[in-house]
Amino acid sequence: MDLAAAVLEGDRLALARSLSQVENGTAQGKSVLSQLFPHTGNAHLVGITGASGTGKSSLVNQLARHCRRSAQQGVARSIAIVAVDPTSPFTGGAILGDRIRMRDLAGDSGVFIRSMASRGSLGGLASTTAAVVQVLDAAGYELILIETVGAGQSEIDIARLAHTTVVVEAPGLGDDIQAIKAGILEIADILVVNKADLPGVENTERALRGSLNLSHPTPRRVMHHGKLEVVEPQPELPADSSQVWSPPILRTVALDGTGVPDLAKAIADHRSYLESSGSWQQRERWRLEAELEQLLQNTLMDGLQSRLPAGAYKQAVEDLLQRRLSPYQAVEMLVDGAG
Amino acid sequence: MDLAAAVLEGDRLALARSLSQVENGTAQGKSVLSQLFPHTGNAHLVGITGASGTGKSSLVNQLARHCRRSAQQGVARSIAIVAVDPTSPFTGGAILGDRIRMRDLAGDSGVFIRSMASRGSLGGLASTTAAVVQVLDAAGYELILIETVGAGQSEIDIARLAHTTVVVEAPGLGDDIQAIKAGILEIADILVVNKADLPGVENTERALRGSLNLSHPTPRRVMHHGKLEVVEPQPELPADSSQVWSPPILRTVALDGTGVPDLAKAIADHRSYLESSGSWQQRERWRLEAELEQLLQNTLMDGLQSRLPAGAYKQAVEDLLQRRLSPYQAVEMLVDGAG
């Protein structure tokens, strides 16, 4: 039986092997991806992002455990966790407690945990994460938690893969300003103040609420025909006001599980909202269009570079810097030179 | 005499006509750009960005007037202002006072003012702004002030064109949180609290200082081979600590010119820093590489689309959404179909 078929039958070893091939971008990886792709589109992708120190990894673990425990009520049958945080317990930065908790989860056959190596090229990391998520989706995982460190644009790009984005904060991380760094709130569907047993929780919550009010509604940036374009927020306010999603701010204490059921419910509610408002299909379309565009660009650029004589691209850049060629002339020369 | 030659000789009418051709992306515009490009690379490009209500446009006017007055001391011989703010006085949102001030500036033959229309495609607007700035650079303007509204990513992209980025804030704009919206501080070389005669100036300054401390050093995002990549801040701390730029926070009152000479001096200091530290060349390289890459991508994508049968791209997207094709298969089909 081939690798893709084994993945579809639930073979965890085949799954792990496929993920490695996909992560490494091998020919087998691409072939597996193409075979699995028709089976994707069922999972609920939930991005969970937050600075280190917010207890985000513990929260992800608790959330996974809670959803497994309530699986009988049909909340989620199987869960995959993709950790793209280099400081996360899944990738080596763990303290003992987290390691134990992770091992605890890993013993559950309904949970699959995959850590992603942080790469220099974060555009690349986002693409790879997208591919990894597709494999897990095809393998039948219904809830996929994508855990990222909310430190910058790269994590925002990864979080955009998700249907639902959860932003985790915590009191006392030096400055409330941290809360709204790098526009992370602009993509939040659900806000969590974790470590809500610590002093300062009201301040953090107030800062979040204040910046939420400032940051919504917000334009989305999408790749379109090779350019980053800004899609203004649709004036799609339906007559039924229950169709408008207003990001809730929840309090949790990951260490003892306080608030975790409410978080699970908010995630489920957001999925219902996406489905009933038509946003689910819209997000799917955006994601797949952006992915096609990105792959196509990479393919065209790679094709050009492979047809160019060695050093021609570098020479064009030098000619540009020395003003011997204008940008248009350099492009013309490269396209002709590769033809 | 042709248009480019007339621009190089200082013909303002030819300059205005060239800019229109370039903005509209005509064949003549591209040809003029290519002819002018060898004459670029001399201007100091200064991005000035800030939310509406900060008095940024007045500040730009005052700065231009100050630099003209001190031109005898060699600060700047000629100045161009590129306003890419749809709410700016230069593009129609003006109150009377601003219009008069602008007219005042416009009567000075050493100042050239150009307003840019806001376009739907902001990637496009950034490209067009880059081209407009090149024409002005070739025309001999030594200081080019690029004025943008600091409302989002698009303005950040435009500000990145600049050698020196000035971020303008003002007290009492509702919330200090506004200061650090959308990562704008991460690109600031100089911070200005304008309207410094208003109450609350200390709070604004404190908020700026707090978020500055959090946001530096920061990775830069650059386009590289069709992907957005993140360049980590170089550990380029020179032995000589005077070689490290630490963004100053200045107070100004644009209405009466208070603090404007200090701002002009900080801008000149930043240029000296860029030149002595080697950052000037580095920023030039980044900008031109990114521009080449972007133009090349657009050209390749346009070329592909023009060779594809009508509707083929749209069909590929539909096949992708229906899971009839995987992303790799769709790309292969499109590339083959265009071959």
3-state SS, one letter per residue, for chain A: CCHHHHHHCCCHHHHHHHHHHHHCCCHHHHHHHHHHHHHCCCCEEEEEEECCCCCHHHHHHHHHHHHHHHHHHCCCCCEEEEECCCCCHHHCCCCHHHHHHHHHHHCCCCEEEEECCCCCCHHHHHHHHHHHHHHHHHCCCCEEEEEEECCCHHHHHHHCCCCEEEEEECCCCCCHHHHHHHHHHHHCCEEEECCCCCCCHHHHHHHHHHHHHHHCCCCEEEEECCEEEEECCCCCCCCCHHHCCCCCEEECECCCCECHHHHHHHHHHHHHHHHHHCHHHHHHHHHHHHHHHHHHHHHHHHHHHHHCCCCHHHHHHHHHHCCCCCHHHHHHHHHHHHC
Among B137, B166, B188, B185, residue whose Cα is nearest residue B62: B166
- A333 CA to chain B: closest CA distance, Å? 10
- Regarding whether A65 and A12 lie in a shared domain, the answer is no
- pLDDT given at position B200: 85
- Flag if A177 and B153 touch (Cβ within 8 Å): no
Q: Does residue B272 fall inside a structural domain? A: yes
- Regarding whether A171 and A229 lie in a shared domain, the answer is yes
- pLDDT given at position A34: 93
As a residue count, chain A comes to 339
- pLDDT given at position A183: 56
A124-138, A187-201, B260-274, B278-292, range with greatest mean pLDDT = B260-274
* pLDDT per position as a tens digit, A306-317: 999 989 999 999
Across residues A23-50, what is the average pLDDT? 91
- CATH value at residue B99: 3.40.50.300
- Regarding whether A242 and A158 lie in a shared domain, the answer is yes
- pLDDT given at position A28: 92
- Regarding whether B291 and B172 lie in a shared domain, the answer is yes
- Regarding whether A101 and A1 lie in a shared domain, the answer is no
A54-63, A90-99, A203-212, range with greatest mean pLDDT = A54-63
How far separated are the first and last CA of chain B, in Å rounded? Answer: 42
Residue bearing tokens 């003892």: A256
- pLDDT given at position A206: 82
For residue A300, what is the nearest residue in chain B, using CA coordinates?
Answer: B300
Q: Does residue B22 fall inside a structural domain? A: no
Q: Does residue B15 fall inside a structural domain? A: no
- Regarding whether B233 and B153 lie in a shared domain, the answer is yes
- Regarding whether B241 and B320 lie in a shared domain, the answer is no
Range of the domain at A12: 1-32
- Flag if B323 and A123 touch (Cβ within 8 Å): no
* pLDDT per position as a tens digit, A43-63: 999 999 887 778 888 899 999
Which DSSP letter does residue B29 get?
Answer: H
The confidence band for A155, taking pLDDT boundaries of 50, 70 and 90, is: low
- pLDDT given at position A4: 96
- pLDDT given at position A154: 59
Q: Three-class SS of residue B222? A: strand
d(CA B61, CA B105): 7
- pLDDT given at position A38: 95
Q: Is the pLDDT at A214 greater than 60, yes or no? A: no
* pLDDT per position as a tens digit, A61-87: 999 989 888 765 555 579 999 887 554
Q: Does residue B10 fall inside a structural domain? A: no
- Regarding whether B237 and B101 lie in a shared domain, the answer is yes
Q: Is the pLDDT at B101 greater than 60, yes or no? A: no
Give the best residue of B175, B230, B307, B319 to mutate against chain A (max A CB count within 10 A): B230
- pLDDT given at position A287: 84
Q: Does residue B105 fall inside a structural domain? A: yes
Among B108, B55, B59, B58, residue whose Cα is nearest residue B80: B108
Residues of A in contact with B304 (CB under 8 A): 296, 300
- Regarding whether A251 and A120 lie in a shared domain, the answer is yes
Across residues A90-102, what is the average pLDDT? 43
Among A233, A312, A313, A245, residue whose Cα is nearest residue A276: A245
Q: Is the pLDDT at B225 greater than 60, yes or no? A: no
- A19 CA to chain B: closest CA distance, Å? 16
Q: Does residue A303 fall inside a structural domain? A: no
- B191 CA to chain A: closest CA distance, Å? 17
- Regarding whether A96 and A59 lie in a shared domain, the answer is yes
- Regarding whether B157 and B123 lie in a shared domain, the answer is yes
Give the best residue of A328, A332, A336 to mutate against chain B (max B CB count within 10 A): A328
pTM, to two decimals: 0.70
Evaluate the omega torsion of the peptide bond into residue A235 and state whether it is cis, within 30 degrees of 0.
no
- ipTM over the 0.85 cut-off: no
The confidence band for A274, taking pLDDT boundaries of 50, 70 and 90, is: very high
Q: Three-class SS of residue B52? A: coil
For residue A324, what is the nearest residue in chain B, using CA coordinates?
Answer: B38
Using only C-alpha atoms, chain B has a radius of gyration, in whole angstroms, of 22
- Regarding whether B273 and B313 lie in a shared domain, the answer is no
Residues of A in contact with B300 (CB under 8 A): 226, 297, 300-301, 304, 335
The number of domains in chain A is: 3
- A66 CA to chain B: closest CA distance, Å? 32
Q: Does residue A55 fall inside a structural domain? A: yes
Give the best residue of A315, A326, A333 to mutate against chain B (max B CB count within 10 A): A326
Q: Does residue B14 fall inside a structural domain? A: no
